[in-house]
Structure 1
Amino acid sequence: MSIPNFTLYGDPANPRCELLHVEDIQSRSRGHDWEIQPHIHQSLFQIVWVARGSARIALDEVDHQAASPFAVSIPPGTVHGFRFAPETQGWVLTFSSQRLLDGNLEGTGPAFQALFATPTILEPGGDDPAVARLTALFTELDSSFLSPGLGDAPVLHWLTQGILWHLAQAAQRQQARLTPNPQPQALFTRFALLVEAHHREHWPVARYAALLGMSSPRLNRLTRERCGLGALDMIHQRLTREACRLLLYTSQPVARVAAELGFDDPAYFCRFIKRRTGLSPSSYRQSRGTPHEKNPRPPEASGAAGTI
């Protein structure tokens, strides 16, 4: 016996389908005694969003029990079935990747990949800001889908992309909750290594934080706990130390040192160094001697804050 293959549950599969379809859970499930038997969609993706109620969920060989609010992302070829509690409220969104991504809107691709890498149950919790937004988006999508003349309107794609984006964000938060945080020292070490590799590129703190899987305020708390400096101060300290080395141990003009360190404006570089050391680059170089006169060790840079 083969696994039933449908376009929509109960409808014959259509391999040429370029579907974008949304319906409330009750409209199809009530007629099947709230049970959707295990089946597959060969070329279609589905999102099931349950705003109120619960369900027993079959995803391939594993069964799950979930209570609202929750979402299920179902890639093509995944065996899935549901036994909903009577009067469960929510929506089922079905679409082809071709139909959705043809809009060429930036950001859909990463969200799409994150959500459908594997079949996933997302349980954001009632206090997650995504819950109210997702329910509102599904309500609007359902209303627009049923409105005469909007069958192929761009608004359907925009609303679907908004749903995917919010679900992707909720998935990231869920992953962060379920994955034990690395030890603070390990995170601090990773940040220090990133600064070592990228200080000349003038990355903002937010970019470092994103690579470490944390917020900018949390990264600042971590660095202050470990070394007494904010994250930006650490970046600037490393950049200043490199500038001092180049000023002392090379004979490059100040403008070339600035360019080598990623400063587009030499005048801004001079202000940055003066703010950090109390001296202009030329004065700093003169006060410490040239490479031909002696071979000093550059002092540690000041911890004073600044902005690039």
Structure 2
Amino acid sequence: MQQRCPDRRQQFLFEKGGGCVLIDNEELRLAPGSLLVLPANCPYQFRLTPDTDGFAFSGSELFLRTRVAQAMFTTPSSFWESYYKPYTYDDLTGEHQREKRKRIFTEVSIAAARFGLGCDAAIMAYILVVVVESTLPKLLQGWQPPTKMDSSDTSLLYQYQILVENHFREHLTIESYCQMLGVTRNKLIEVCKQLSELTPLELVHKRMILEAKRELLSSMKTVNEITFDLGFIDYAYFSRFFKNQTGFSPTHFRSLGNKYTA
């Protein structure tokens, strides 16, 4: 059965065993030393060997996204594109890297067991370290600092993402978002392209598709119900949109997930 965590970013470190995980009908292999990172709202299903062991943590997606945006406004745009995708990080084959990652996760476990919610900020700080360390290394190769970027641009993108999260079902125009943000269309396009490599409209579509996939794989709703829940006027329009974005019709996409769980 497909699972998901609506508001929390999840991280799994596999010390032994492993297997595979199904994400959006794509199967990813998991081996000892693999670090799996799942963004909020990402539907997934594990198939693990009985001897699998390791660490699992989750943190508030809003908290992590805010802290990353505040601390890392000069990161390459590809960082944010990667941040919102599930991925496995398999470069922990070196003994030093494995021990370092294990130490971080062990310290988080000890802090959580000893202090519980009383040290939530400290626990989240550890998790933030893992988020950043596991995402940046590959992305920084050959990167040059952007010539026109500051923290206000990152803040604008973050505010836009919040608005998209709250209104993507309403199919607002980009001009409507610009009015709520108090910026011009050109400014919003510039910031979105610089930081996410996507246009404002593509970011809205990406959020719609994520929700559509989640509903198709993890809910009992009919495709027509999902169509109207996402604000589309009819199934034919929604089906064309979904197929243009994913290469599959909604019904076909759902059937692929059902075959895996059968």
- Where on the TM-score scale, by shorter chain, does this alignment land: which range? 0.3 to 0.5
Q: Identify the structure with bigger relative contact order (alpha carbons < 8 Å, sequence gap 6+).
A: 2
Determine which structure has more spread, i.e. the larger CA radius of gyration: 1
More helix by share: 2
